[in-house]
Structure 1
Amino acid sequence: MTKNTDFALKIVPEDKLLLLCARTVLESETKVKIRSLIEESLNWDYLIQRASQHRLTQLLYWNLKDFNVPETILDRLKENFEGNGRRNLLMLGELLKVLKLFGSGGITAVPYKGPVLALYAYQNLSLRQFDDLDIFVNRKDVLKVKEILVSQGYKPQFEVEGFMQRRFLKSQREYKFVNPKTNVHIEIHWQFPGVSFSFSSETKFLEDPESRTMIKVNNKEISSLSTENMFLILCIHASGHLWERLSWICDISKLIQSHEMDWEHVFEKADELGIKRVLKVSLLLAVGLFALKLPDAVLEDIKSDEKVKNLVFKVKKRIFQEGSENIFQMADVRLNIRENRSNRVKDLFNILFNPTNKEWDESSLKLILPPVSYILRFINVFKDY
Structure 2
Amino acid sequence: MLTEATPEFELLARCVRPDGAVATGERLDAVLARDPDWDRVLELGRRHGVTPLLNRGVQELDASEAGIGVPERVRSALTERTRSTAMRNIRSASELRELLEAFEARGVRALPFKGPVLEAFAHGEIGMRAYGDLDVLVPREDVTAAVDVLEAAGYEWVDAPRLDDAAILGGPFTKPLVAEYELQRDRANVEVRWRIGDADQPFAPDVETCWERRETVAVAGYDVPALAPEDRLRMLAFHGTKHKWHLLKWACDFVAALAATDVDWPDLLAEARRHGDERRLLIGAALIDRLFDVSVPDAVRSRVEADSRADRLAAAAVEELCAERTTRPERRDRVAYTARATDSVGDSLRTVLYHSRLHPGLSEYRLVPLPGALHPIYYLVLPLRLLAERSPFSLGEARDEGPIDRV
- Which bracket does the TM-score occupy, shorter chain normalised? 0.7 to 0.9
Tell me whether 1:346 sits opposite 2:350 in the alignment.
yes
How far apart are the structure 1 equivalents of 2:103 and 2:163?
A: 22
Task: Provide closer, same or farther for how the CA distance between residues 355 and 82 of structure 1 changes in structure 2, counting only shifts above 3 A.
Answer: farther
264-273 or 317-326: which moved more? 317-326
Task: Provide closer, same or farther for how the CA distance between residues 328 and 283 of structure 1 changes in structure 2, counting only shifts above 3 A.
Answer: same
In the alignment, which of 171, 195, 206 is matched to residue 191 of structure 1? 195
> Could you tell me whether the CA contact under 8 Å between 1:108 and 1:206 is conserved in 2?
no
How far apart are the structure 1 equivalents of 2:364 and 2:40?
A: 39
2:168 maps to 165
Q: CA deviation at 1:248?
A: 0.7
How far apart are the structure 1 equivalents of 2:274 and 2:8?
A: 40
> Could you tell me whether the CA contact under 8 Å between 2:116 and 2:219 is conserved in 1?
no
Task: Provide closer, same or farther for how the CA distance between residues 186 and 34 of structure 1 changes in structure 2, counting only shifts above 3 A.
Answer: farther
Task: Provide closer, same or farther for how the CA distance between residues 296 and 190 of structure 1 changes in structure 2, counting only shifts above 3 A.
Answer: same
Q: CA deviation at 1:286?
A: 1.1
> Could you tell me whether the CA contact under 8 Å between 2:19 and 2:259 is conserved in 1?
no
Q: How big is each residue's C-alpha offset from its partner over 1:24-83, in whole Å with a ceiling of 9 and x where there is no partner?
A: 454475366546534542222322222122111111111113353100111111111110
Name the SS for the 2:136 alignment partner: strand
In the alignment, which of 227, 230, 237 is matched to residue 228 of structure 1? 230
Tell me whether 1:56 sits opposite 2:50 in the alignment.
yes
Structure having the higher helix fraction is: 1
Task: Provide closer, same or farther for how the CA distance between residues 355 and 56 of structure 1 changes in structure 2, counting only shifts above 3 A.
Answer: farther
> Could you tell me whether the CA contact under 8 Å between 1:278 and 1:337 is conserved in 2?
yes
Q: How big is each residue's C-alpha offset from its partner over 1:254-295, in whole Å with a ceiling of 9 and x where there is no partner?
A: 111112013233212211221111111111001111222322
In the alignment, which of 273, 280, 283 is matched to residue 281 of structure 1? 283
In the alignment, which of 350, 371, 381 is matched to residue 395 of structure 2? 381
How far apart are the structure 2 equivalents of 1:334 and 1:204?
A: 19
> Could you tell me whether the CA contact under 8 Å between 1:110 and 1:224 is conserved in 2?
yes
Q: Map residues 74-113 of structure 1 onto 2, 5 A cutoff.
A: 74-113=75-114
Task: Provide closer, same or farther for how the CA distance between residues 296 and 69 of structure 1 changes in structure 2, counting only shifts above 3 A.
Answer: same
Q: CA deviation at 1:249?
A: 1.2
Name the SS for the 2:197 alignment partner: coil
How far apart are the structure 2 equivalents of 1:25 and 1:202?
A: 27
342-351 or 321-330: which moved more? 321-330
1:3 maps to none
Tell me whether 1:174 sits opposite 2:180 in the alignment.
yes
Task: Provide closer, same or farther for how the CA distance between residues 166 and 56 of structure 1 changes in structure 2, counting only shifts above 3 A.
Answer: closer
How far apart are the structure 2 equivalents of 1:314 and 1:233?
A: 21
Task: Provide closer, same or farther for how the CA distance between residues 107 and 350 of structure 1 changes in structure 2, counting only shifts above 3 A.
Answer: same
How far apart are the structure 2 equivalents of 1:211 and 1:23?
A: 29
> Could you tell me whether the CA contact under 8 Å between 1:250 and 1:290 is conserved in 2?
no
Task: Provide closer, same or farther for how the CA distance between residues 68 and 129 of structure 1 changes in structure 2, counting only shifts above 3 A.
Answer: same
Q: CA deviation at 1:141?
A: 1.1
Task: Provide closer, same or farther for how the CA distance between residues 207 and 282 of structure 1 changes in structure 2, counting only shifts above 3 A.
Answer: closer
Name the SS for the 2:24 alignment partner: helix
> Could you tell me whether the CA contact under 8 Å between 2:242 and 2:337 is conserved in 1?
no
The one-letter amino acid paired with 1:49 is E
Q: Map residues 287-306 of structure 1 onto 2, 5 A cutoff.
A: 287-306=289-308
> Could you tell me whether the CA contact under 8 Å between 1:57 and 1:77 is conserved in 2?
yes
> Could you tell me whether the CA contact under 8 Å between 2:38 and 2:70 is conserved in 1?
no
Task: Provide closer, same or farther for how the CA distance between residues 326 and 122 of structure 1 changes in structure 2, counting only shifts above 3 A.
Answer: closer
Q: CA deviation at 1:232?
A: 0.8
The one-letter amino acid paired with 1:230 is R
How far apart are the structure 1 equivalents of 2:56 and 2:382?
A: 47
Q: How big is each residue's C-alpha offset from its partner over 1:183-225, in whole Å with a ceiling of 9 and x where there is no partner?
A: 2111111000146x524x9523434655211112333322110
How far apart are the structure 1 equivalents of 2:293 and 2:242?
A: 23
How far apart are the structure 2 equivalents of 1:207 and 1:27?
A: 35
Q: TM-score, normalised by structure 2?
A: 0.82
Tell me whether 1:42 sits opposite 2:42 in the alignment.
no
Tell me whether 1:368 sits opposite 2:371 in the alignment.
no
The one-letter amino acid paired with 1:347 is T
128-137 or 66-75: which moved more? 66-75
The one-letter amino acid paired with 2:227 is L
Name the SS for the 1:130 alignment partner: coil
2:155 maps to 154
The one-letter amino acid paired with 1:173 is A
1:254 maps to 256
Unaligned runs of 5+ in 2: 63-67, 369-377, 400-407
Aligned Cα root-mean-square deviation (Å): 3.0
> Could you tell me whether the CA contact under 8 Å between 1:194 and 1:240 is conserved in 2?
no
Q: CA deviation at 1:109?
A: 0.7
Q: CA deviation at 1:160?
A: 1.3
Task: Provide closer, same or farther for how the CA distance between residues 250 and 70 of structure 1 changes in structure 2, counting only shifts above 3 A.
Answer: same
The one-letter amino acid paired with 2:7 is P
167-176 or 340-349: which moved more? 167-176
Q: TM-score, normalised by structure 1?
A: 0.86
255-264 or 10-19: which moved more? 255-264
> Could you tell me whether the CA contact under 8 Å between 2:137 and 2:195 is conserved in 1?
yes
Task: Provide closer, same or farther for how the CA distance between residues 36 and 318 of structure 1 changes in structure 2, counting only shifts above 3 A.
Answer: closer
